[in-house]
């Protein structure tokens, strides 16, 4: 071991994390090393050594942290920690239900209901204690336009879902689905699909097959365990609403700028530290939520290029009002924001022209 390197033990959430680091490293640098290990943004970390909080710019040597030292890590609420985001109501399953012990894997469906499904094209089976999609559902085939099996206990979305050639909306949220649970080749063949909701599951990967869903208008992958987005997301040129909040995404692909119809984007509670410049190509963008992220800056021409942007969420980021005012197009954005939120202006503005949608005044 080099003389300039010391070994530390970080105590966090009941765990002991061994770490080797330069004795000349600052607390800020140590926090950056801990981010990928703990999923806690640096600004949400408080490092305590011998009862004292380590100063941000002090080196470990200056703080008298030596080889073999034990440091306690405290994480702030609202930022990522451990297995996922720390939320007031963090839960993979958004609704708590009593499980029927004797529930059959295939729900018994009366003939009249099956006939109604075929006649209306709407298959509504949310919160039905299902462990699998019933056989009667598959019999609807091309007659199905909407399938809602949300908030169940579905173990698998099989490839035979491709038989729903006319389906427009597919709701799969709140089932605890894993990456292995979904046969994506089946979903990828649904060329008329306009809405896909797979939020509140246990997905760690959004596969490239999602790029085949070129008719999508709405995509909701919130409250999963995604760490990245595929480049193929740029093929969703008709996408208008994209929700990916409460994941572990660290960066966005540049191809996001090709989703030229995007109007609403929610990336809150992720590990994103910067946005690609291609975001400024989203000329129809009206709402951009970036709360609880690691952002410190925005693309310099965001306000200048995104002329319809009127809602910008920046709570719990390091972006300040002063930095926003330096961006070209700020005044025009601020006017749009004021116009949209006229009824709430007294609550959002302190004094004259003070921005209050998340950006802090000073740090």
Question: Are residues 276 and 161 part of one domain?
Answer: yes
Question: Are residues 288 and 201 part of one domain?
Answer: yes
pLDDT at 357: 55
Q: Among residues 298, 320, 336, which one ends one of the domains?
A: 298
Q: Nearest CA to 219 among 235, 241, 201?
A: 241
Question: Are residues 287 and 215 part of one domain?
Answer: yes
**28-37, 156-165, 316-325: which range is least confident on average?**
28-37
Specify the number of domains making up the chain: 2
On whether the CB atoms of residues 304 and 331 are closer than 8 A, the answer is: no
Question: Are residues 63 and 195 part of one domain?
Answer: no
Residue 356 has pLDDT above 80, yes or no: no
Give me the CATH number covering residue 270: 3.80.10.10
Residue 186 has pLDDT above 70, yes or no: yes
Q: Among residues 298, 323, 352, which one ends one of the domains?
A: 298
Give me the CATH number covering residue 23: 3.10.20.90
What is the average per-residue pLDDT within 316-331? 92
Backbone angles phi, psi at 124, to 5 degrees: -110, 105
Question: Are residues 267 and 121 part of one domain?
Answer: yes
What is the average per-residue pLDDT within 19-40? 87
**Stated pTM of the model:** 0.77
What is the average per-residue pLDDT within 88-101? 39
Q: Which two tokens stand for residue 22?
A: 């330069």
Question: Are residues 139 and 11 part of one domain?
Answer: no
Residue 211 domain boundaries: 113-298
Question: Are residues 233 and 170 part of one domain?
Answer: yes
Domain presence at residue 335: no
Domain presence at residue 84: no
To which residue do tokens 């365990």 refer? 225
pLDDT at 32: 83
């Amino acid at each position: 071991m080099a003389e300039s390197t010391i070994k530390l033990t970080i105590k966090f959430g009941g765990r002991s994390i061994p770490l080797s680091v330069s004795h000349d490293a600052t607390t800020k640098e140590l926090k950056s090393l801990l981010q990928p290990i703990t999923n806690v943004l640096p600004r949400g970390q408080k490092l305590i050594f011998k009862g004292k909080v380590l100063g941000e710019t002090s080196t470990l040597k200056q703080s008298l942290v030596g080889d073999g030292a034990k440091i306690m890590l405290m994480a702030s609420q609202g930022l990522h920690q451990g297995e996922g985001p720390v939320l007031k109501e963090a839960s993979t399953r958004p609704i708590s239900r009593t499980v029927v012990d004797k529930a059959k894997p295939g729900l018994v469906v009366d003939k009249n209901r099956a006939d109604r499904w075929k006649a209306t094209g709407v298959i509504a089976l949310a919160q039905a204690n299902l462990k699998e999609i019933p056989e009667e559902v598959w019999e609807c085939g091309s007659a199905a336009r909407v399938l809602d099996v949300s908030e169940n206990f579905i173990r698998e979305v099989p490839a035979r879902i491709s038989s729903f050639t006319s389906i427009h909306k597919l709701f799969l949220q709140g089932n605890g689905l894993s990456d292995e649970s979904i046969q994506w080749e089946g979903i990828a063949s649904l060329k008329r699909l306009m809405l896909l909701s797979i939020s509140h599951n246990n997905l760690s990967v959004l596969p490239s097959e999602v790029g085949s869903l070129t008719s999508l208008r709405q995509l909701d992958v919130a409250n999963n365990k995604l760490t990245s987005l595929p480049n193929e997301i740029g093929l969703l040129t008709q996408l208008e609403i994209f929700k990916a909040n409460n994941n572990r995404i660290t960066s966005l692909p540049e191809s996001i700028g090709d989703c030229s119809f995007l109007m609403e984007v929610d990336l809150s509670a992720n590990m994103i530290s910067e946005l690609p410049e291609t975001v400024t190509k989203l000329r129809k963008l009206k709402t951009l939520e970036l709360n609880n992220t690691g952002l410190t800056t925005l693309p310099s021409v965001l306000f200048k290029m995104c002329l319809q942007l009127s809602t910008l969420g920046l709570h719990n980021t390091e972006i300040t009002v002063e930095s926003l005012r330096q961006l070209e197009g700020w005044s025009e954005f601020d006017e749009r924001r004021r116009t949209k939120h006229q009824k709430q202006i007294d609550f959002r503005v302190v004094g004259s022209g003070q921005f209050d949608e998340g950006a802090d005044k000073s740090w």
